[in-house]
Amino acid sequence: MLALLDLTRHLATHGFTITIVVTPKNLPILTPLLSSSPNIQPLVLPFPPHPSLPNGENIRDIGNKANALLDYACRNISLVRSQDTTVFHDLPNSPSLSSDHLPTLVRSYRESDPEWELVFDLLIANASSWGWVVNTFDALEGQYIEHLKKLTGHERVFGVGLISLLEPVTRGLSEPGSGFDVLTWLDGRPDGSVVYVCFGSQKFLTSDQMEGLAIGLEDSGVHYVWVVKPEQGDLVRAGSGRGVVIKGWAPQVAILSHRAVGGFVSHCGWNSVLESILAGVMILAWPMEADQYVNARLLVEEHGVAVRICEGPDTVPDPARLARMIAESMGGDKSEKLKAKELKNKATEAVKDGGSSSMEMDRFVKELSKFQPKMNEK
């Protein structure tokens, strides 16, 4: 959602009148944006209760490769679900995924359920949209942007990614009211020596997973910052003094951008992927669900900026193996570290004047300026 709001703020500077459809719980997030521009107005729609949906409201962001894969899976759902491994021949490089690594929506689909049929009809209808605005850039997913253009049959696919992330990072406390400034702690650590550990806002690790990860981090001999949910804070201790455990919120972009951080243990959610790329930090991937397996493959196999250390939502890592992989990945000038810095430079170039994302944003603004909605014929 935050990336979409940054896009909205940028478009408002071009004089567009913008309506944001938002649910009541998420309305407070818009307060700074609404106060910054009279061109932006909210349209509040209640989030309908449903027994099959968890309480709360959230939006997930996925990349181009996952979008293209999900479109194929939705159109061929019976075939995809009947196979142990699916080869996506229409996608660049013909990737193959086991059934366990397919997006969560595909694995959870219930045939003949009218509500699931509606969800899949809507996903398929994406291909007939007027245009696609995607949070990525050419050097990262250029071939998949071109694939989406072929899929939609037009050129209105705009890769505008990372423009919102190039704002100055401010220093601050790791947790409001905690009294601990994680950035000051990082100041006292050598360059590239710290691994940052965070699995996003959705995932709760089991107690066995927490224990395996804790032992692995301690035995790796590497400095670390581990962000855990407040409810799970008592399950882990930083015993050696090499690491700190933050219970709750942490300034992730600022942490990743700090010179001391050289690795990021991540579930490979798309926002975390983009933030690590902008910081030039290698990812130690532990994909668990949704688009994360696809994102991990993109980073590990296509760009070489990540190392896969574990996978699966229920997998308990072997502490000794995990410690060894963390130590080896963080030690010296590993190729993944060097390639991560190269990809950061490409991302930075993309948002500069004349860069791919900057030109794509200009192209998007021009297309919007001449857009004329089609009236339904009677």
CATH number at residue 254: 3.40.50.2000
- Choose the weakest-confidence range: 42-51, 78-87, 311-320: 42-51
Structural domain contains residue 311: yes
**Do residues 89 and 107 lie in contact, with contact meaning Cβ atoms separated by under 8 Å?**
no
Tens-digit pLDDT profile for residues 100-131: 888 878 888 888 888 888 888 888 888 788 99
Q: How many domains does the chain have?
A: 2
Go through 111-121 and write b for each residue having 16 or more CB atoms within 10 A of its CB, e for each that does not. eeeeebeeebe
* Rounded CA separation 304/334 (Å): 10
Amino acid of residue 14: H
The percentage of residues in the chain with a pLDDT greater than 90, rounded to a whole number, is 44
Which of 366, 368, 346 has its CA nearest to residue 357?
346
- Choose the weakest-confidence range: 62-66, 252-256, 295-299: 62-66
**Do residues 156 and 367 lie in contact, with contact meaning Cβ atoms separated by under 8 Å?**
yes
Structural domain contains residue 130: no
Same domain, 198 and 335: yes
Structure tokens at 10: 């940028």
Read off the pLDDT band of 341 (50, 70, 90): very high
The burial of 184, by beta-carbon neighbours within 10 Å (0-12 exposed, 13-18 middle, 19 or more buried), is given as exposed
HSE of 132 in the Cβ direction (CA atoms, 13 Å)? 27
Q: How far is CA 366 from the centre of its chain?
A: 28
pLDDT mean across residues, the chain: 85
DSSP-based three-state secondary structure for 294: helix
* Residue span of the structural domain in which 187 resides: 182-346
Rg of the chain over Cα atoms, rounded to whole angstroms, equals: 21
Q: Tell me which of 11, 33, 59 is where a domain ends.
A: 59
Give the mean model confidence (pLDDT) for residues 254-265: 95
Structural domain contains residue 72: no
Read off the pLDDT band of 176 (50, 70, 90): very low
**Do residues 69 and 101 lie in contact, with contact meaning Cβ atoms separated by under 8 Å?**
no
Structural domain contains residue 307: yes
* Rounded CA separation 244/218 (Å): 11
pTM: 0.84
Which of 90, 148, 126, 103 has its CA nearest to residue 268?
103
Tens-digit pLDDT profile for residues 56-83: 555 444 556 667 788 888 888 888 888 8
Q: What is the pLDDT of residue 122?
A: 86
* Rounded CA separation 137/121 (Å): 28
Residue 257: pLDDT over 90: yes
Q: Tell me which of 44, 59, 74 is where a domain ends.
A: 59
Structural domain contains residue 218: yes
Give the mean model confidence (pLDDT) for residues 258-286: 94
Read off the pLDDT band of 302 (50, 70, 90): very high
Same domain, 193 and 334: yes
Structural domain contains residue 189: yes
Structural domain contains residue 294: yes
The percentage of residues in the chain with a pLDDT greater than 70, rounded to a whole number, is 87
Residue 201: pLDDT over 90: no
- H-run or E-run covering 211: helix 207-220
Backbone angles phi, psi at 283, to 5 degrees: -100, 135
Structural domain contains residue 133: no
Q: Tell me which of 24, 43, 59 is where a domain ends.
A: 59
